[in-house]
Structure 1
Amino acid sequence: MTWDILNILAVAAFAFSGAIVALNERYDIFGTFILGIATPFAGGIIRNIALDVPVVHVWEQGYLFYVALGTIAIVYFFPKTWVMTWDRWNIYPDAIGLSAFALQGASFAIENGFPLGGIIFAAILTGVGGGVTRDVLAQRRPMVMHQEIYAVWALMAGLLIGVGWVDIESAWQTYMIFLLVIICRVASFHLGWHLRFRDLYRL
């Protein structure tokens, strides 16, 4: 149940984020749905290819595929004057997707018997892959390339899970790290934390 909830939140958040970016870039309905679908599912596809694990096709994602379609449809048919103002708040659904998918990636690596490096790698790729794909398709500079801290939070989640400090079999610990990554990502954005030595002292 824990992972079902996190997967629904992650897919809905990234589908929402992708659709908002598409509408702000003036994509048509086809482009909006393509970008909205690519954002939640691209990270897992990239991860599986990198780890040499069979790729599950987007249309084989079961109910998650329909969660993405429903979310995109809601965004697309909302009044455009409302939607255009939501782009400034896109950091929040993006943080939710980053966190949930980073945890999902780490869990996937553990289930497939990967060592610590593979767990961290899977957490990063799954967490940031969708956002990078969204930004590249929308011809925006990917968030992971910004000075602000982004992928580090996915790395942190993978590290904490990989070394056993967070037990993903425990629901409360899973939700705890999920919220922690969201808070860290949002805080790093609003407080302007950067990956420079002088900023690391502030952490």
Structure 2
Amino acid sequence: MVWDVLNMIGTIAFAASGAVVALEVKYDIIGAYVLGLITAFGGGAIRNLFTGIPITELWQQTSLFIAALITISFVILLSNKAVDLLTKWNIFDSVGLSAFAVQGAMYAQSIDLPLFAVMFSAAITGAGGGIIRDVLAQKKPIVLRQDVYLLWALFAGFIIGMDLLSESYQFYILFAIILLLRGISQRYGWSLPTRTIQQPQKN
């Protein structure tokens, strides 16, 4: 039950996120649907490929596809002011990351994968769709350049991979904690260390 609830939450959040980005970069309506669906299902599809799950299972999620399409349609109908607010708050990315990180880790744990694979599953499910979205929108993926983003997904995978949770409510609490940490890190501009290479000046 927890897995299904988080799957629906993550799908709706990332479908909205993809549609908002599509409108932000002035893609047409078809572009909004494509970007929304890819953001919602891209991370799970990559996870399935790396964990040996047949890709055809993606097409068995009819209810999720319907929910994603309805969400994208709703975003398209929003006013420009509302879209600007959603872009500024970035709430959908945070919710999608939190839900899919926990859901992806639960999925890997359910098929008895080792700790590293559980953490990878959490990270790629939580961030994979967003990376594909940003690439298609011709933006540098936010997960690879700023914010403590991927770290929170790995943290969720570690907690679940270590078998520290057993009751349903504990997974919901972890979801809330990841969402809170993501919000705090975004609010205060936390970021991981970076190193840049200075290009030599031409004489």
Give me the CA root mean square deviation: 1.5
Q: Which residue of structure 2 aligns with residue 132 of structure 1?
A: 131
Long gaps (5+) in structure 2? 195-203
> Residue 114 in 1 paired to residue 113 in 2?
yes
Residue type of the partner of 1:69? L
Q: State TM-score, norm by structure 1.
A: 0.90
Number of residue pairs the alignment of both structures matches: 194
State the identity as a percent.
Answer: 44
**For residues 174 and 192 of structure 1, what CA distance do their matches in structure 2 show?**
27
- The higher radius of gyration belongs to 2
Q: Which residue of structure 1 aligns with residue 77 of structure 2?
A: 77
Residue type of the partner of 1:87? T
Residue type of the partner of 1:78? L
The alpha-carbon deviation at position 128 of structure 1 amounts to 0.6
CA offsets per residue over residues 32-66 of structure 1, 9 Å max, x none?
A: 00001000100011111122321145442120110
The alpha-carbon deviation at position 125 of structure 1 amounts to 0.8
The alpha-carbon deviation at position 146 of structure 1 amounts to 2.0
Q: The residue matched to 1:192 in structure 2 has which SS?
A: coil
Residue type of the partner of 2:78? F
Q: State TM-score, norm by structure 2.
A: 0.90
The alpha-carbon deviation at position 138 of structure 1 amounts to 0.6
Q: Contact 2:14–2:92 (CA<8 Å) still a contact in 1?
A: yes
Q: Which residue of structure 1 aligns with residue 187 of structure 2?
A: 190
**For residues 37 and 130 of structure 2, what CA distance do their matches in structure 1 show?**
12
Given the superposition, is the C-alpha separation of residues 7 and 54 from structure 1 closer, same or farther in structure 2, using an over 3 Å criterion?
same
CA offsets per residue over residues 83-130 of structure 1, 9 Å max, x none?
A: 23321112x111110011111111111122211111111111111101
Q: The residue matched to 1:110 in structure 2 has which SS?
A: helix
Long gaps (5+) in structure 1? 198-203
Q: Which residue of structure 1 aligns with residue 199 of structure 2?
A: none
> Residue 89 in 1 paired to residue 89 in 2?
yes
Given the superposition, is the C-alpha separation of residues 73 and 57 from structure 1 closer, same or farther in structure 2, using an over 3 Å criterion?
farther
